[in-house]
Amino acid sequence: MTIKAMLESYEAEIIILFAIVIGAIIAVKVVSAFIAGARQRAAAASAAARQEILPAGEASPDSRTTALINGYQVSGEGLSLSDVDEKTAAMILAIVAHDAGIPIAELQFKSIRATS
């Protein structure tokens, strides 16, 4: 029996096998694209949660020192922390804003430093 004769007898099975393989490849590509899209949406949502909620012009995007207080990201070009961690600085900012009766978005801080 030659190979041609063997292939002719299994022609339908071979076509079904190729269809299954092609279907599996397409399914993997679709699922991979869905997962990649979900990861991009999750990353975008995470980045959006970290974005500034302050009005335009209140904070510099180049600033590296920031504190998140009640949904407001407080930062600025001149804001510097000296011997103070961000959590303590955030509490100080919140206390000052509360005692002054001024919204955090309207305050501008230049530096926060620890004193002994």
Residue-wise pLDDT for 46-56, tens only, equals 766 655 444 44
Q: Which helix (H) or strand (E) holds 68?
A: strand 66-69
Sign for the pseudo-dihedral over CA of 23, 28, 29, 35:
positive
Distance between CA 94 and CA 108 in Å, rounded? 12
Query: β-pairing, 66-69 with 72-75?
Result: antiparallel
Mean pLDDT of the chain: 75
Distance between CA 2 and CA 51 in Å, rounded? 69
Q: Which of 32-36, 56-60, 98-102, 112-116 has the lowest mean pLDDT?
A: 56-60
Q: What is the pLDDT of residues 5-33, one digit of tens each?
A: 777 778 888 899 999 999 999 999 999 99
